[in-house]
Structure 1
Amino acid sequence: MTKLRGGLTVGLAVIVAAVVWPAAIFAAPGANAGDWPQFRGPDGKGTAVGEDYPLTWGPEKNIKWKIDLADPGAGSPIVSGGRVFLASATEDGRQRSLLCIDRNDGMLLWTRTVEFGEDITHSKNPFGSTTPATDGEHVVVWHGSAGLHCYDFAGKPLWSRDLGEFKHIWGYGSSPILYKDKVLLQTGPGERVFVTAIDLASGKTLWETDEPYSGDKSPDDVGSWSTPVVAHVDGQPQVICAMSTRVNAYDLDSGDLLWWCDGLNGSNYDVVSSSPLIGDGIGFAMADLRGPAMGFKLGGSGDVTASNRLWHVEKRNPSSVGTGVMVGRHIYRPNSGPGTLECLDAETGESLWKSRARDHWASMVLAGGHLYALSQRGTTVVLKPNPQAYEQVASNELDGVTNATPAFSEGEIFLRTEEHLYCIGK
């Protein structure tokens, strides 16, 4: 196998474990409005299209299908063109896969696997914990040190990239997103951390922008597992990233760092797991492991900490793995240790209510006028986005442990646990 550092991977060893189907069924249908094409949905904001999603389910209720998964993983499913795509990996990380599943019956259509050598991760973050992204014709998956890979809907490899080594005691977790003709990826954690844009058609690098670290923490206590969000700011699309110590905004075309807001570095750790929340002219970001949280205005130039930071809470925050949802001027967030569901005022940071819950590592989703919050124990709480009070609608139990965010598409919910993938529908 010949690898070009930072370039296209030539002759990458790919194991094809696929069911052979007539070529006609693989005609790429293109993206449609009901797809869930990447982490946290079509716009990366955790909001689903459509209204008619189930509010209640259980082992014997509203389960359209359920399939076994060979290996655990925290990567979320995506849904497009009658297919469900899911990242997976063996326990030792030596084989990392993309699965393609028929959304109608749960049948495995094909698997594409790449081989890799020795690597490390954390027991709570198994390999296979990123989410693929698709435009309805291409599907892209990042396997950390094992590379970034692009396939068509028939499973044909289109290109692969070796972006370097990303080793950390807590593993990797940031997911690629697609915006028009670009793949956007926030790499790390590792020795080198950068944000990159890659041409979706060819796999060639369009730009890379390094994120230097100048803090005082050890490498094991620094990193970001956040996924970028594209937002329109000052009349132009910008790539918003929550890095280990600050929030950065990059020019979509050039990769230039446009502005940044400091405030995510903590007293013991400089780590971020959740993605930034973007509303109308305002943003929210939160560190993990009980680190800081902050609200900020979008836009400006250079260091906007003094001018744009609206509020900053350094201490007494919960841990934050999953990402919340911003509805108007209110933030609804799932907390992980202590496990709570919480509503904040985005402009002031005031906590409006807090409800005790199990630990939530999955991100919250707004669908059909309801918020869905999945706990590590497989319980999905459904609640109203009511800033006045906690208003629970339902609590749904499924067997299994999970850290994966569900996907919502055309009235159906696709939920991954360590052992199963479910399709939930009326």
Structure 2
Amino acid sequence: MESRYYLRTLGTVTSLLMLIALLGCQKKTPVKQVSIEQSSVSFSEKNLSHLKSEWPGWRGPDQSGVAGEADTPTHWSETENVKWRVDVPGRGNASPVIVNNRIYLATADDSAQKQKIVAFDITDGSQLWSTTVNEGGFPSSGQMHPKSTHANGTVLCDGTRVITASLHHEKITAYALNVETGKIIWTQELGAFNSKFGYAPSPVLYNSFVIFACDNHGGGYLCALDTESGELAWRVERPLASTYSSPRIANVGGKDQLLISGGEKIISYDPRTGKENWQTPGTADATCGTVVVAKDLIIASGGYPQSQTIALDSAGQKQWEVKTKLYEPSLITVGDTLFGITDKGIAYCWDVTTGAEQWKERLGGNFSASPVAVGDTIYVSNLEGQTFVFKANPSSFQQISVNRLGTDCYASPAVYDGNIYLRIGTGNGQSRQEELVCLSRQPSGNSSQN
């Protein structure tokens, strides 16, 4: 009996020592907070209405993943309804961004350790320019998730600049490029970054500011830069956690709120100043999905290791929760209905107001990409290159089609002018090649690869 007790005690002590050693190996970097009062940057209102008909950043014009009514294709194959498809240099999980008939895409050449932004012509997919924003300093393979890339975050375009942020040399650095030429306009170091699985969030535009999330277990932070100059407007410390969600700005409760999950919390900030409005326990330590908003409710899901989807009111008070998690794919709302697809391919439908489950259906395969909605139709791609198309119907699951293109799909689709744009992979291993594909009901007949 005593020997068994001794062994159990020894095992517990050994586990604690291993945990302490692991934590001790994590590099901590104190975050230097900067208030809007301390910086030399002034906030100004900007008319961004010209972006409402574009797809200017992650999840579209308002970060919801919802496009307006359009006659987008619902069926396609390797040739059917393919307007054009072109090779993409390198590798990345970033989604396409489309403004003023140009497509912008972040990508990375792993062997040369180069991070790039590439511009394509929307008419035929021809490459307009390619700019290397960084060379060298990539995290080691032990600091990256197997599914992660060195170009995870979707770029942002305001019509004048393409803005992005990259992880290299143990730091996050932001860049702004000229939309016409690809020339780098400004560069700004945001802060240190201790990578566990890589860097994933996409920037968000708010009037004259562009805002970046840089959560990591070495010392997370949220910061805003002036879009014109790249100067730091404010930077605030975040919970100490490796989490991957992009920030979301939405008008909830009559005011603009900067919303983000992760670190076992949902937190609301003032996007003008970075000052915290409120915080509420919820979701998980690590989340990937972007917050969605409907009927003045803020809804978030996570993640790892906890399992929770939660709805809050505009002041952060919990309204409902379910013990279902969506880790990588973001939620989406259409009307009064909330939809989500889990990493393991189960589609859920909930009532937005109450959280009551309306239906669930196994789609098949595993998912990293987030869904988009066009009118009352939802599109979502799995890791095997299948895109599921179904009705946003609260009564029952109504599948329209399942369409395969390529051999894999990690990136979420973009929707623009009645067309769907997919970033896919074809082939495996060393022969794998990424492609950008334009799907249209009126293909031009040019479906060849460049």
Residues 55-95 of structure 1, C-alpha deviation per residue, up to 9 Å, x if partnerless? 11110111111111232211111001111100001225821
Contact 1:184 1:197 in 2 (8 A): yes
Q: Secondary structure at the match of 1:164?
A: strand
Q: Give the AA of the match of 1:256.
A: K
Out of 127, 131, 136, the residue aligned to residue 116 of structure 1 is 136
Contact 1:277 1:326 in 2 (8 A): yes
Q: Does 2:335 correspond to 1:320?
A: no
Out of 398, 411, 415, the residue aligned to residue 404 of structure 1 is 411
Q: Secondary structure at the match of 1:37?
A: coil
Contact 2:320 2:355 in 1 (8 A): yes
Counterpart in the other structure of 1:43: 62
How far off its partner does 1:405 sit?
0.4
Out of 143, 147, 169, the residue aligned to residue 166 of structure 2 is 143
Aligned residues: 379
Q: Give the AA of the match of 1:359.
A: N
Larger-gyration structure (1/2) = 2
In structure 2, distance between residues paired with 1:6 and 1:158: 25
Out of 172, 181, 204, the residue aligned to residue 199 of structure 2 is 172
Q: Give the AA of the match of 2:387.
A: T
In structure 2, distance between residues paired with 1:146 and 1:240: 21
CA shift in 2, pair 1:39/1:32, >3 Å: closer
Q: Give the AA of the match of 2:178.
A: D
Q: Does 2:320 correspond to 1:311?
A: yes
How far off its partner does 1:142 sit?
1.1
Q: Does 2:377 correspond to 1:370?
A: yes
In structure 2, distance between residues paired with 1:92 and 1:186: 27
In structure 1, distance between residues paired with 2:293 and 2:396: 23
Q: Does 2:232 correspond to 1:205?
A: yes
CA shift in 2, pair 1:128/1:6, >3 Å: farther
Q: Does 2:208 correspond to 1:189?
A: no
Contact 1:324 1:365 in 2 (8 A): no
Q: Give the AA of the match of 1:347.
A: T
Counterpart in the other structure of 1:288: 303
Residues 190-243 of structure 1, C-alpha deviation per residue, up to 9 Å, x if partnerless? 412111111101111111111133xxxxxxxx4221111111123221111112
In structure 1, distance between residues paired with 2:152 and 2:58: 11
How far off its partner does 1:116 sit?
2.7
Q: Does 2:289 correspond to 1:274?
A: yes
Q: Secondary structure at the match of 1:123?
A: coil
Contact 1:274 1:321 in 2 (8 A): yes
How far off its partner does 1:320 sit?
2.0
CA shift in 2, pair 1:62/1:6, >3 Å: farther
Q: More helix by proportion, 1 or 2? A: 2
How far off its partner does 1:135 sit?
1.1
Residues 219-275 of structure 1, C-alpha deviation per residue, up to 9 Å, x if partnerless? xxx42211111111232211111122111111121111001111223xxxx210111
Q: Give the AA of the match of 1:130.
A: G
Identity over aligned residues, as a percent?
27
Counterpart in the other structure of 1:100: 119
How far off its partner does 1:6 sit?
8.3
In structure 2, distance between residues paired with 1:118 and 1:38: 24
In structure 2, distance between residues paired with 1:196 and 1:403: 27
In structure 2, distance between residues paired with 1:404 and 1:175: 13
How far off its partner does 1:342 sit?
1.2
Q: Give the AA of the match of 2:108.
A: A
Counterpart in the other structure of 2:149: 126
RMSD: 2.0
How far off its partner does 1:32 sit?
4.6
Contact 2:252 2:314 in 1 (8 A): yes
Higher mean C-alpha displacement, 276-285 vs 159-168: 159-168
In structure 2, distance between residues paired with 1:283 and 1:366: 19
CA shift in 2, pair 1:290/1:93, >3 Å: farther
Q: Does 2:421 correspond to 1:414?
A: yes
Counterpart in the other structure of 1:298: 313
CA shift in 2, pair 1:137/1:351, >3 Å: same
Contact 2:309 2:322 in 1 (8 A): yes
Counterpart in the other structure of 1:217: none
Contact 1:228 1:275 in 2 (8 A): yes
CA shift in 2, pair 1:252/1:93, >3 Å: farther
Q: Does 2:103 correspond to 1:84?
A: yes
Contact 2:152 2:200 in 1 (8 A): yes
In structure 2, distance between residues paired with 1:403 and 1:285: 21
Q: Give the AA of the match of 1:183.
A: V
Q: Secondary structure at the match of 1:272?
A: coil
Q: Secondary structure at the match of 2:242?
A: strand
In structure 1, distance between residues paired with 2:382 and 2:311: 28
In structure 1, distance between residues paired with 2:89 and 2:157: 23
Contact 1:320 1:334 in 2 (8 A): no
Where does the alignment leave 5 or more consecutive residues of structure 2 unmatched? Answer: 1-30, 34-48, 426-433, 442-450
Q: Give the AA of the match of 2:361.
A: S
Residues 347-396 of structure 1, C-alpha deviation per residue, up to 9 Å, x if partnerless? 33332211112212111111132111111111111111111110111111
Counterpart in the other structure of 1:248: 267
Calculate the TM-score normalised by the size of structure 1. 0.84
Residues 119-172 of structure 1, C-alpha deviation per residue, up to 9 Å, x if partnerless? 132221111111000111111011123511001112121111111232323111
Q: Secondary structure at the match of 2:369?
A: coil
In structure 2, distance between residues paired with 1:48 and 1:6: 39
In structure 1, distance between residues paired with 2:125 and 2:50: 20
